[in-house]
Amino acid sequence: MSSIDKLVENTIREDIRAIASYHVPDARGYIKLDAMENPYALPEHLRADLGQRLADAALNRYPVPSYATLKAKICASLGVPAGYDVLLGNGSDELISIMATAVAQQGRRAVIMAPTPAFIMFSRSAQFAGADFVGVPVKADFSLDLDAMLAAIAQHQPALVFLAYPNNPTGNLFDAGAMEAIIGALGETGIAVVDEAYQPFARQSFMGRLPEFPNLVVMRTLSKLGLAGIRLGYLSGDAKLLEQFEKVRPPYNVNVLTQVAAEFALEHLDVLDQQAGLLNAERSRLAAELAALPGVEVFPSAANFISMRVPDGERTVAELRSKKVLIKNLSKMDKMLVNCIRVTVSTPEENTAFLNALKASL
């Protein structure tokens, strides 16, 4: 064993050494349909205006630490209830990490829970914070197993329960009544986090219901709306919860360029909403054409992606890659997702290219 290998073994946590880093494949030269991005750019005249706004940004200064202007625009534009504030993060990933860190007890290991399969950062953030992650499998149709969730809550007393609405990687919306029962079961011992990353496409939300549930936090990101490149997430909840999460948030975690770009985009939210409408229409077309293919089982989706089961998921992903089309192989994520793949809904041209490549690969 080399000297550096010994250093790594002696200093880096064993559980960190045992896992792989989050891999993002190089997409240059490919039709990129693996990351749930909005394929549409801002119109040319808005890009010119944004360029000037960014050029005027004070890059020599730290951001205003309160982010008051940006937070006010988010609250006014994105359905945050009156009297509620937001906490900002470098994408929703950082917000997940902030919450996990805030609840991870020093004296006893906290439990963080989610229905599975789920977004990988729920379990990763729990692990990195020193908490235990408990995944509760959904039913065969990917709906919530309410009885299993309630039993797991009673047994483990989780500090955080993440409920993605709609879920990633499956795309479906969980039953709102079942989610209410979970929020109620947590009561004063656990925080329910409804992750609404795909809300622009689902058009359903728990944000307006924050006043009903003191233990509810609603988290969103601007990434899926068309601003993945600026990395901005936000969450809202009771002021006393946000006060505690604020203590964990790193200072200046949202950079000046992100702040300026987000404020500009929120002034033109109608453009982004129109793009989301185009993607929803394409989602319906794409789902119908996929469902007509032999051997393809399409799962209902309220997001900007479609998950499906094919005869051989790994081979299909490899075949598509050879045709310069990138999609996501879900097969290794969870035993319920054997031979499942996920494709981002894109422009009509890219969706047609994907369909043609898939037909040739089946």
pLDDT along the chain (362 residues), means of 10: 93 93 86 96 95 96 92 97 98 98 86 97 96 97 98 97 98 98 97 98 97 98 94 98 97 96 96 97 98 97 98 97 97 95 98 97 90
User: Domain range spanning residue 152?
Assistant: 60-267
Give 194's Cβ-side CA count (13 Å radius). 28
Q: Are 249 and 89 in contact (CB under 8 A)?
A: yes
- Return the structure tokens found at 212: 């009903």
CATH number for the domain including 242? 3.40.640.10
Same domain, 34 and 97: no
Rounded Cα distance, 176 and 115, in Å = 14
| pLDDT at position 145 | 98
Cβ within 8 Å of residue 347, ≥6 positions away: 39, 40, 282
Q: Is 231 left (phi over 0), alpha (psi -120 to 50) or beta?
A: left
Rounded Cα distance, 185 and 192, in Å = 10
Same domain, 236 and 354: no
Q: What share of the chain is helix, strand, coil (3-state, %, to 5)?
A: 45, 15, 40
Rounded Cα distance, 301 and 344, in Å = 11
Closest by Cα among 200, 203, 201, 264 to 230 = 264
For residue 48, tell me if it sits in a domain: no
Rounded Cα distance, 144 and 251, in Å = 37
Same domain, 9 and 107: no
Same domain, 282 and 259: no
Rounded Cα distance, 305 and 346, in Å = 9
Helix (H, G, I), strand (E, B) or coil at 49: helix
Domain boundary among 206, 233, 267: 267
Residue type, 319: E
Same domain, 245 and 100: yes
- Return the structure tokens found at 109: 């290991």
First vs last C-alpha separation in the chain? 46
Q: Are 222 and 195 in contact (CB under 8 A)?
A: no
Same domain, 13 and 158: no
Domain boundary among 267, 290, 310: 267
Domain boundary among 267, 283, 303: 267
Distance of alpha carbon 233 from the chain centroid: 9
Same domain, 15 and 85: no
For residue 232, tell me if it sits in a domain: yes
Same domain, 216 and 122: yes
Task: Locate the DSSP E strands across 67-151.
Answer: 86-89, 111-116, 132-137
- How far is CA 314 from each of CA 318, 320, 331, rounded to the nearest angstrom? 6, 10, 7
Q: Are 31 and 326 in contact (CB under 8 A)?
A: yes
| pLDDT at position 78 | 97
| pLDDT at position 1 | 86
| pLDDT at position 131 | 96
CATH number for the domain including 354? 3.90.1150.10
CA dihedral (100, 127, 308, 91) positive or negative: positive
Residue type, 85: D
Cβ-based neighbour number of residue 31 at 10 Å: 22
For residue 53, tell me if it sits in a domain: no
Same domain, 206 and 78: yes
For residue 39, tell me if it sits in a domain: yes
- How far is CA 208 from each of CA 75, 233, 290, 315, 351, rounded to the nearest angstrom? 11, 18, 35, 44, 34
- What's the whole-model pTM score? 0.95
| Total domains in the fold of the chain | 2
Helix (H, G, I), strand (E, B) or coil at 217: strand
Residue recorded with tokens 């987000």: 262
Same domain, 344 and 250: no
Rounded Cα distance, 197 and 186, in Å = 22
Closest by Cα among 317, 104, 80 to 206 = 80
Same domain, 262 and 314: no
Same domain, 242 and 292: no
Rounded Cα distance, 136 and 243, in Å = 30
